Amino acid sequence: MSVTLKSPEDVAGMREAGRLGGELLDYLTPHVKAGVTTQEIDALAHDYMVNEQGTIPATLNYAPPGHTPYPASLCTSVNHVVCHGIPGDKKLKDGDIVNIDVTVIKNGYHGDTSRMFFVGKPSIQARRLVEVTYEAMWRGIRAVRPGAHLGDIGSAIQRFAESHGFSVVREFCGHGIGKQFHEEPQVLHYGRPGTGYKLQPGIVFTVEPMINAGRPGIRCLADGWTIVTADHSLSAQWEHTVLVTDDGYEIMTQSAGTPAPPPEPTLAQAS
């Protein structure tokens, strides 16, 4: 596994790109409401990235091997869509939950982050799923420190999500990031403590668990991008980009509107 340690210059560039990614989500937040289409949200995001931030939308025309170019400047995944939902002309309605996943490029560096949004009043199950997924991401992030292993992150996420009756999507994972959109290492959201790559200062990667209300199975729609739950259950995802520091971690995708972290778990809760 070829993992790139980031230089101080790289870290400064990643910090700026990450902040801009967070600020893009801040800007979009008041627009996520009933009656708005995800295509309209995409247009707002594209204009803000290009004309206000001077950033490049990393997803637009992104085409990994075997895929047609992705046609939008962000991903909007509504209700049972797990990830990579393509913005369209269907209007958001009261009760929907939606993940907005953005990646901006600034001076060659990628800032990758996503948040969940409630449209109007969510169901009890939807609210619980979104809140558990958020804490699951944070459980994973709080396992990050030099000498820890990637399996520690995945285990923390998996144990917390499954303890609440939810399931972890296996086919997608977090990833290293920098001047490339996707780098090593792959960061699984399940696993066993003490296994996998050993972390060291200077590594930057995303933690972005996808958690389903039902079973973990997924399928891909005919567009080649949109991933949905196989059983049509709700799915949620949150994402931050994280730097391994000398004594722990730094969230690189913080902005003024970033939701506050959940309280630190007690020793009993963490076990």
Asked whether residue 271 carries a pLDDT value surpassing 90, the answer given is no
Amino acid in the structure at residue 70 = Y
What would the pLDDT profile of 130-143 be if each residue is shown by its tens digit?
999 999 999 999 99
Give the span between the Cα atoms of 67 and 221, in whole angstroms.
13
Give the span between the Cα atoms of 243 and 145, in whole angstroms.
9
Asked whether residue 112 carries a pLDDT value surpassing 80, the answer given is yes
Only one residue has tokens 């070829």, namely 2
Instruction: Determine the Cα angle at 240 with ends 32 and 178, to 5°.
Output: 120
Answer whether 39's CB lies under 8 Å from 87's CB. yes
Give the span between the Cα atoms of 185 and 199, in whole angstroms.
10
Answer whether 229's CB lies under 8 Å from 80's CB. yes
pLDDT of residue 267: 59
Closest C-alpha to 140, from 181, 220, 196: 196
Asked whether residue 1 carries a pLDDT value surpassing 90, the answer given is no
247 contacts: CB under 8 Å, gap ≥ 6 = 145, 146
Answer whether 175's CB lies under 8 Å from 205's CB. yes
Give the span between the Cα atoms of 27 and 54, in whole angstroms.
15
Give the span between the Cα atoms of 254 and 211, in whole angstroms.
22
What would the pLDDT profile of 16-36 be if each residue is shown by its tens digit?
999 999 999 999 999 999 999
Q: List, in order of start, the domains of the chain with CATH numbers.
A: 8-255 (3.90.230.10)
Asked whether residue 266 carries a pLDDT value surpassing 80, the answer given is no
Closest C-alpha to 235, from 189, 186, 202, 182: 189
Asked whether residue 268 carries a pLDDT value surpassing 60, the answer given is no
What would the two tokens of residue 179 be?
Answer: 């001047």
What would the two tokens of residue 40 be?
Answer: 């309209």
What would the two tokens of residue 172 be?
Answer: 């997608």
pLDDT of residue 270: 58
Strand partners, 205: 176, 242
The share of the chain scoring above pLDDT 90, in percent, equals: 96
Asked whether residue 71 carries a pLDDT value surpassing 60, the answer given is yes
What would the two tokens of residue 108 be?
Answer: 């060659």
pLDDT-derived band at 265 (thresholds 50, 70, 90) equals confident
- Residue positions counted in the chain: 271
What would the pLDDT profile of 207-235 be if each residue is shown by its tens digit?
999 999 999 999 999 999 999 999 999 99
